[in-house]
Amino acid sequence: MYLRQRTQSRSRSSTGAAMGTIINVSVVLLLLLAQVSAYKAVIPADAENPGKCIYRGDLLQLGVNNGIPPCQRLTCNEDGSILIEGCGKLSIEHCNRGERIYPAKPFPECCLLKYKCKERDGAPYFIERDAAERA
């Protein structure tokens, strides 16, 4: 509010500079409003399958297993536990849920998202965010 009132009181010659300031402030606020849903967790070893990593009914290879939907990397440990890492999606105010730009690429390259957003006047604009960087 204060910024808008202040910029309205400036002369017409400084309107362009004021609009640049408002846009920069808007971008900062947009970044602050983004909520992260990236995750990292350990799935404990399955007592019924000692030394084996079972994920959603599938047997994983020992070590890194990439390309597990939806954009995850699973690391199978020797004890049968699994480190699961994923980027999820970001929730950004005035934007859709985002679409993966490279869904077929392995984690974390598949975390790049494109969002369609709307200005206050309804005009659309697009932004890209890497959900993996926000983990």
pLDDT value at 29 more than 90:
no
Do 115 and 53 reside in the same domain of the chain?
yes
pLDDT value at 53 more than 70:
yes
Q: What is the pLDDT averaged over residues 53-66?
A: 94
Do 13 and 76 reside in the same domain of the chain?
no
Q: How confident is the model at residue 37 (pLDDT cuts 50, 70, 90)?
A: low
Do 128 and 90 reside in the same domain of the chain?
yes
pLDDT value at 14 more than 60:
no
Report the domain count for the chain: 2
Do 124 and 60 reside in the same domain of the chain?
yes
Do 26 and 53 reside in the same domain of the chain?
no
Concatenate the DSSP letters of all residues of 32-88 into one string: HH-B---EEEEEPPPTTSTT--EETTEEPPSEEEEEETTTEEEEE-TTS-EEEEE--
Do 75 and 60 reside in the same domain of the chain?
yes
Q: What is the pLDDT averaged over residues 80-94?
A: 91
Residues of the chain above pLDDT 70, percent: 71
Q: Which residue has the tokens 């934007």?
A: 95
Do 84 and 102 reside in the same domain of the chain?
yes
Rounded to an integer, what distance in angstroms lies between the CA atom of residue 128 and that of residue 100?
10
Task: Print the domain residue range for 117.
Answer: 35-134
